[in-house]
């Protein structure tokens, strides 16, 4: 896939935006939402092989990658509103969302707040509540920035060097108090959702199953021998699941249903 990238002004803030194209690709649009403290660069190559017939968009969220900070950054409500603005102003039609980690959280929140903008979701390594059995998130962590990470930040971010630690601390603050979606909130999401995860995520598998079982039109893929970085550890398997999900997004019909036996969606 070829890509066109550069800064766009999104309602008063410069955002690094990327659009991938393939000759003749006229499929429905897909928006990639990267993980926290990450950027589009860190995972787009793992997704693109599964999206060859689609128009693919991505952007670095505020305080990520090549996009600088602004007031209110990192809170999930802020990031959700930013995603909605990008869909409305740049893509200009409903999209399929693929979100990894924080990007998955934002995808779910967009679908709750603006269901008219979302055709489907692939939520990878996603928790819906901060109280998820999540490990490795400390309230006041010691921030150690390697020379490599510092150089990468200096090369890409429009923010001054001292902001890197501030951004990281803000991320930990948010992760310890957000998101706060409930099962009732998740039940409002009626579009097809593929919950895809490694079997060794930093949050509990019970939390992932609760997420899946709360969705009216959910599918669940737990990839064995994989972690939160399942998109890189098991790229071909992840791509196969996404292709299969996009191949048929009708409500699943199974031989011996439990969750779907009395679904309102199935009866429609």
pLDDT of res. 266: 45
Long-range Cβ pairs for the range 249-254 (8 Å, 24+): 249/120, 249/192, 251/192, 251/217, 252/219
pLDDT score at 264? 52
The DSSP symbol for 66 reads T
Q: How wide is the angle at C-alpha 134 spanned by C-alphas 84 and 30, nearest 5°?
A: 30
Tell me the pLDDT tens digit for each residue of 30-67.
999 999 999 999 898 899 999 988 999 999 999 999 99
The pLDDT value recorded for residue 140 is 72
For the chain, list the domains and their CATH numbers.
2-267 (3.40.50.1820)
- Candidates 142, 15, 21; CA nearest to 83 is 15
What is the DSSP pairing of strand 13-21 with strand 193-200?
unpaired
* Interior/surface letters 112-125, b for 16+ CB within 10 angstroms, e for the rest: bebeebbbbbbbbb
Going by DSSP bridges, is the β-strand pair 95-100/2-10 parallel, antiparallel, or unpaired? unpaired
How many angstroms separate the first and last alpha carbons of the chain?
39
Q: Which helix (H) or strand (E) holds 13?
A: strand 13-21
CA distance 195 to 121: 8
Q: What is the SS3 assignment for 219?
A: strand
Q: Which pLDDT does position 268 carry in this prediction?
A: 52
pLDDT higher than threshold 80 for residue 263:
no
Positive/negative CA dihedral, 58, 61, 65, 68: positive
pLDDT tens digits, 60-94: 999 999 999 999 999 999 999 999 999 999 999 99
pLDDT in tens, 15-26: 999 999 765 567
């Amino acid at each position: 896939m070829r890509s066109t990238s550069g800064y766009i002004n999104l309602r008063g803030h410069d955002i690094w935006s990327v659009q991938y194209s393939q000759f003749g690709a006229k499929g429905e649009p897909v928006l990639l939402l990267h993980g926290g403290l990450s950027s589009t660069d860190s995972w787009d190559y793992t997704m693109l092989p599964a999206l060859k017939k689609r128009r693919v968009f991505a952007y670095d969220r505020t305080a990520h990658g090549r996009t600088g900070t602004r007031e209110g950054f990192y809170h999930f409500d802020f990031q959700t509103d930013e995603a909605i603005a990008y869909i409305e102003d740049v893509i200009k039609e409903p999209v399929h969302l693929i979100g990894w980690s924080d990007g998955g959280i934002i995808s779910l929140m967009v679908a709750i707040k603006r269901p008219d903008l979302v055709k489907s979701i692939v939520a990878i390594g996603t928790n819906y509540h901060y109280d998820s059995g999540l490990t490795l998130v400390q309230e006041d962590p010691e921030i150690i920035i390697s020379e490599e990470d510092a150089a990468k930040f200096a090369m890409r971010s429009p923010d001054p060097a001292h902001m890197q630690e501030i951004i990281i601390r803000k991320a930990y603050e948010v992760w310890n108090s957000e998101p706060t979606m409930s099962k009732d909130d998740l039940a409002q999401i009626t579009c097809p959702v593929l919950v895809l995860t490694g079997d060794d995520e930093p949050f509990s598998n019970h939390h992932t199953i609760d997420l899946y079982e709360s969705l009216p039109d959910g599918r669940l893929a737990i990839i064995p021998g994989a972690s939160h970085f399942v998109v890189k550890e098991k790229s071909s398997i992840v791509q196969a699941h996404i292709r299969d999900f996009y191949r048929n997004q009708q409500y699943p019909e199974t031989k011996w249903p439990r969750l779907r036996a009395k679904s309102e969606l199935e009866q429609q």
